[in-house]
């Protein structure tokens, strides 16, 4: 029997990127999946490709009525809800705080944080009575450290981490686990949202994006499936004692400088010092 046989999962932002990879992986593992997204054609096509194991529900994650309906659709169609993956999101360019429009702040907080709040809220309404369930949220390394994304995005993702920990404490008493994933360096169309590119041009841009995302110890960007694999693990019984955690999946980015970069930086620094204090360095070399 497949690991997720008989399990019902909702995946928001499921029509593309990490969400699409997660839909494929959960379905392949035996789960039935409700794909939630605003990209109607992509979502419908994906659901059709998976047959009876998937349905699509057009969903604006910032709208409480939509999120309530999403959960009700899953229960009505499949009979229950076991997994809710709050994955929907987007990013935008980074501006100085004094130049950041309030509309940009409200939009990112709305989709990234409010959307996650609504997902947890309406999933909990079904999971608490059944005394079981798993909630996985997509956060970001931008939520645990500065300098990885815009002010708005960083604030929203820090909120997702805090909300994950807080709700894990409450819902754990009902047998429900809540965790989040903090990814980095993923080559997805999120980097070119807002740029007037055709769909084919967006696909072409991914190679350019990937080439600039290898500044980590592993020296490469993450594939969307590598993040989806962590979501699959967190949703499974293999992680049955894990809750309230922010799992970092970043190729080592947040651990510090790459070893080669650190040595290059130290070499440059000591080279400058040697030029500045030649006599001292000559004595050092003579020892």
Among residues 21, 140, 154, 239, which one is catalytic?
140
The superfamily (CATH) of domain 8-256 is NAD(P)-binding Rossmann-like Domain (3.40.50.720)
Q: Is 148 part of the annotated catalytic residue set? A: no
- Helix (H) / strand (E) element for 259: namely helix 259-276
Structure tokens at 174: 């009902």
Structure tokens at 253: 């980015």
Residue 12's nearest CA partner among 46, 42, 38, 47 is: 38
Structure tokens at 237: 């019984």
Whole-number Cα distances in Å, 208 to 65, 104, 212 = 39, 26, 7
Q: Is 132 part of the annotated catalytic residue set? A: no
Among residues 85, 148, 154, 157, which one is catalytic?
157
* Separation CA 156–CA 167 (nearest Å): 16
Q: Is 157 part of the annotated catalytic residue set? A: yes
Neighbouring-strand partners of residue 128: none
Q: What pTM was estimated for this model as a whole?
A: 0.89
Please state the domain extents for the chain: 8-256, 257-287
* CA angle in degrees (0–180, nearest 5) for 279-283-287: 170
Q: What is the pLDDT along the chain (287 residues), one digit of tens a residue?
A: 478 999 999 999 999 999 999 999 999 999 999 999 999 999 999 999 999 999 999 999 999 999 999 999 999 999 999 999 999 998 766 789 999 999 999 999 999 999 999 999 999 999 999 999 999 999 999 999 998 889 999 999 999 999 999 999 999 999 999 999 999 988 766 665 556 667 776 666 667 766 666 678 888 888 899 999 999 999 999 999 999 999 999 999 898 877 788 788 778 887 887 888 888 878 878 87
For the purposes of burial, counting CB atoms within 10 Å of the CB of 198, is it exposed (0-12), middle (13-18) or buried (19 or more)?
exposed
Among residues 153, 154, 239, 258, which one is catalytic?
153
């Amino acid at each position: 029997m497949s690991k997720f046989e008989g399990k019902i999962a909702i995946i928001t932002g499921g029509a593309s990127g990490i969400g699409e990879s997660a839909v494929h992986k959960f379905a392949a593992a035996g789960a039935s999946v409700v794909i939630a997204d605003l990209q109607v054609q992509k979502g419908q096509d994906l659901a059709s490709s998976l047959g009876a194991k998937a349905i699509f529900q057009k969903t604006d994650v910032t709208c409480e009525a939509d999120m309530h309906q999403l959960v009700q659709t899953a229960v009505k169609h499949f009979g229950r809800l076991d997994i809710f993956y709050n994955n929907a999101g987007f990013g935008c360019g980074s501006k100085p705080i004094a130049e950041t429009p309030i509309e940009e702040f409200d939009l990112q907080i709305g989709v990234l944080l409010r959307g996650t709040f609504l997902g947890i809220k309406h999933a909990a309404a079904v999971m608490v009575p059944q005394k079981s369930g798993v909630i996985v949220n997509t956060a970001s390394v931008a939520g645990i450290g500065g300098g990885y994304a815009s002010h708005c995005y960083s604030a929203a993702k820090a909120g997702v981490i805090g909300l994950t920990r807080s709700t894990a404490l409450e819902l754990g008493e009902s047998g429900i686990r809540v965790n989040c994933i903090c990814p980095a360096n993923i080559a997805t169309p999120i980097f070119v949202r807002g740029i007037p590119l055709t769909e084919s041009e967006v696909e072409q841009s991914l190679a350019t994006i990937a080439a600039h995302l290898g500044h980590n110890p592993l020296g490469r960007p993450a594939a969307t499936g590598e993040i989806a694999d962590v979501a699959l693990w967190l949703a499974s019984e293999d992680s049955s004692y894990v809750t309230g955690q922010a799992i970092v999946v970043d190729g080592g980015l947040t651990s510090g400088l790459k070893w080669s970069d650190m040595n290059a930086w130290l070499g440059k620094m000591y080279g400058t010092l040697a030029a500045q204090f030649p006599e001292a360095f000559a004595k050092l070399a003579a020892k």
